[in-house]
Chains A and B, each alone.
Chain A
Amino acid sequence: MATLSLQNVQKSYGGLQVLHGIDVELEDGGFLVLLGPSGCGKSTLLNLIAGLDDISAGDIRIDGRSVIELAPKDRNIAMVFQSYALYPTMTVERNIGFGLEMRGVNGNERSAAVKQAADLLQISHLLDRRPANLSGGQRQRVAMGRAIVRNPDLFLFDEPLSNLDAKLRAEMRTEIKRLHGRLGTSVVYVTHDQIEAMTLGTKVAVMKGGYIQQFADPQTIYEKPANIFVAGFIGSPSMNFVTGTLTSDGRIARFEASGVRVEIPSNSDEMFDARPAVLGIRPEELKVDDGESAMLTGTIDVVEPTGPDTMVTVRIGEQPIVARLPSRFSGKAGETVGLIAHVNSMSLFDYQTELRVPL
């Protein structure tokens, strides 16, 4: 168990900078998710933490101790790979115990540790098999067994669930959460799946283009996204964006667009007059209100019942938005509908900078 501290971590390949000064602090026993689309630098960052690649500038500290001069094996970390990276010629037992074997742990002690890890992951019956004879889920468990058997300071997961089908993925996600709760070891977890990030992480770093876009707990990331990129990346279906203007007198901020009129109480002293802005509303926050207080008014375009919910696409002026409404919604395409949402669930972004406008 340990803390992790990334200080101004930079990485360049020749003239190409792929990480621009990453700063992250993870508490002891925390679960850090590096989230972002492919090419955002999250896997590179993980490799730097593991020591599989050399850092260009900055520092990485595990439990307060700088590790950038250390080889991967000396950082007391364990890693789980997307491809599982099991040694194809070794049995499951030797695969799990390999790290201990390389560290000179004797046979009996090793068997005991392997047995314990295998029991924890419910793969004791597979110990004599070779990786080729395992299913995807079983391989994933072996890969995790190989990580936990060493009792490291830090677990590194590199998209560990990406190769599994949807059902197994959900199952293993729960398993990882359970293991983390039980072992309490700090984790760095790379994924492009926002659901994994939200369910697993105690901290999420959303990355894009080698920069951290937002570093916060999942709730904050969901409720108060720092910019349009984060707002759009988190949540499914993704947040609706409506372009319009923002006017504020310091007490009340008013957002207006064709078919939209929202007033939000403001604590900021800043005052704007018809500043171009983007309003973000999550589909699940929208409710039908055909009365006077409707904030958005438009024409129903498509109605898609999914069972528990009904997804309704509404044209507000020229801008389509999606509302996730209860299944009892009875509106039809072509009808006019009014929608409201709680003002606290809304986000406002500057049109130019795409950054959140604090109110």
Chain B
Amino acid sequence: MDTGSHLPKTGMIGELSETRYWIYLLLLPSLVIILLVIAYPTIYGMAISFREMRLTRPGLTGWVGFKHYLVMIDDPVFWVALKNTVLWVTFAVVLELGLGFIAATALNRNVPGTGIFAVLILVPYFLPNVVAGHMWALLLDPRLGVINDILVRVGVLGSYKAWFADPNTALAATIFVEAWHGFPFFALLLLAGLKGIPHDLYKAAAVDGAGPIAQFRLITVPMLKSVIAAAVILRVISLVNSPDLLLILTGGGPGDATQVLSLYAFQTAYKDFNFGYASALSVVMFVILMVFAYAYIRLSKIGQE
């Protein structure tokens, strides 16, 4: 390597490193990367939503204004998917938060051996969505499913049930699988949050006469508020955006019973090759998420303290 001939250049950068512009220079690479991989695709995606872009129709092209958005208003599948998205995300997050909290509280008692459980409880989260999906498709299988077998043996069910084939149970079953898969995320973050609460606070509350419920309400929840808020936002974003679990378990069926916006956008783009309409769906998801995140942050008052 001939480093010598390039040293003068480095010298110049060296001079620059003593000035206040140095900080901007250091930020430059990440700014460029963010612009390239986040800002540009986002803006491009929004632009496509106002265009006609169907891969299988190279001839059809050009700006169409709000056409896709107007079509969406009359698209019954969009409304079903919107409703399902709200149900799926709400119930999944509530369940995951609840399960995560129980797990975190259990792990937070410094009982010997809980270290192992802490790792075990994280296992579901380590599984990729695809693996978790296929695994649960088998566990809940109407012919071979272990879950069905157990439920029949203990007398809860009369015969094996095809959970994903019945529109009344399909969404609930997928929410159950998602909750199983996602609760360790909450458990992990809440456990970190719980560890950060000084034990003295609970002692003080006990001396002051606050019972377990009052302690939970007045100490644990307020102290975990920012953790919960951050975890919920992250989880909602990832649930709204990732169709993979549903894609494997039901493909949106039966009869749109588990169709959600992300899956609908995915299928529109990669089965219909209608990128314009798919982009419009994505923009709607984006707007909904932005509004949600803003409202949620305002309501939970993160950043006030």
Contact = CB atoms under 8 A, between A and B. Distances in A.
Interface of A: 47, 50-52, 71-73, 77-79, 81-85, 87-90, 98-99, 102-103, 130, 132, 146
Interface stretch (B1-9, B16-24, B59-67, B215-223): B215-223
B208 interface: yes
B195 interface: no
Interface string B202-224: 01111111100010001100110
B197 to A, nearest CB: 10
Interface of B: 198, 200-201, 203-210, 214, 218-219, 222-223, 305
B200 A88 contact: no
A226 B244 CA distance: 74
A102 B208 contact: yes
A47 B204 CA distance: 11
Given A89-B218, A132-B305, A81 B208 contact: no
18 contacts: A47-B203, A50-B203, A52-B206, A71-B206, A72-B207, A77-B207, A81-B200, A82-B200, A83-B200, A85-B203, A87-B205, A87-B218, A87-B219, A90-B218, A99-B208, A99-B209, A102-B214, A132-B305
B248 to A, nearest CB: 43
Contacts of A89: 218, 222-223, 305
B209 A73 contact: yes
B227 to A, nearest CB: 14
Nearest to A83: B200
A84 B201 CA distance: 8
A160 to B, nearest CB: 11
A79 B209 CA distance: 12
Contacts of B218: 87, 89-90
A320 B214 CA distance: 59
Contact of B204 (A81, A103, A130): A81
Contacts of A52: 203, 206-207
A52 B203 CA distance: 7
A95 to B, nearest CB: 9
B111 to A, nearest CB: 12
A103 B203 contact: no
Nearest to B208: A99
B200 A73 contact: no
Name the residue in A78, A87, A99, A146 with the highest tally of chain B Cβ atoms < 10 Å from its Cβ: A87
B75 to A, nearest CB: 46
Given A83-B200, A87-B219, A89-B222, A99 B207 contact: yes
Contacts of B198: 83, 85
B209 A103 contact: yes
A316 to B, nearest CB: 47
Contacts of B205: 87
A103 B209 CA distance: 7
Given A50-B203, A82-B200, A146-B208, 18 more contacts: A72-B207, A81-B204, A83-B198, A84-B200, A85-B198, A87-B205, A87-B219, A87-B222, A88-B305, A89-B223, A99-B207, A99-B209, A102-B209, A102-B210, A102-B214, A103-B209, A130-B305, A146-B204
B112 to A, nearest CB: 9
B209 A85 contact: no
A84 B198 CA distance: 10
A20 to B, nearest CB: 24
A81 B202 CA distance: 11
Nearest to A94: B218
B208 A98 contact: yes
A130 B219 CA distance: 14
B210 A85 contact: no
Which 10 pairs of residues, A with B, have the shortest CB-CB distance?
A73-B209, A85-B200, A102-B209, A85-B204, A89-B222, A99-B208, A81-B200, A72-B206, A72-B207, A79-B207
Contact of A73 (B208, B222, B223, B305): B208
A50 B209 CA distance: 12
Nearest to A147: B207
Nearest to A104: B209
Contacts of A81: 200, 203-204
Contacts of A83: 198, 200
B230 to A, nearest CB: 17
Contacts of A77: 207
Contacts of B214: 102
B207 A78 contact: yes
A72 B203 CA distance: 9
Best-buried of B201, B205, B208, B214 by chain A (most CB within 10 Å): B208
A52 B205 CA distance: 11
A52 B208 CA distance: 12
